[in-house]
Amino acid sequence: MEEKKIIKVKSFRFDPQKDEKPYYDTFNVPISGKMSVQDCLVYIRENEDPSLAFFINCRLGFCRRCLIRVNGKSCFSCLTDAEDDIVVEPLIKDQVIRDLWSKDI
């Protein structure tokens, strides 16, 4: 049987045009089957908050642009498994266009 589990994804949020300073939002994401951090972000964008900004393109490690920080460590969001609660942040926090997309990726 597939495990069904809910994890908490705590995401860095910041819209420099609107927000005075960054803040965090926490979303519940149901995990069924092995999911990447990017799958969780897609889930959030499709079901919880369509305004969440993050990078996605090839989903399989080819483009090497989906760099973010998961629990403080830099990684490719499409190649990183989401198994337990996580904190997601942009690669470079003081160079953010919006949310999880920092300028130079």
Contacting positions for other proteins (CB under 8 A): 2, 15, 17-18, 32-36, 39, 45-46, 49-53, 56-65, 78-79, 81, 97-99, 101
Beta-carbon contacts of residue 88 (< 8 Å; ≥ 6 apart): 9, 10, 11, 12, 37, 41, 68, 69, 70, 77, 100
Give alpha helix (H) positions in the chain.
37-47
Q: Binding mask 66-95 vs ligand FES (x if CB under 6 A, - otherwise)?
A: x---------x-x-----------------
Contacting positions for ligand FES (CB under 6 A)? 56-59, 61-66, 76, 78
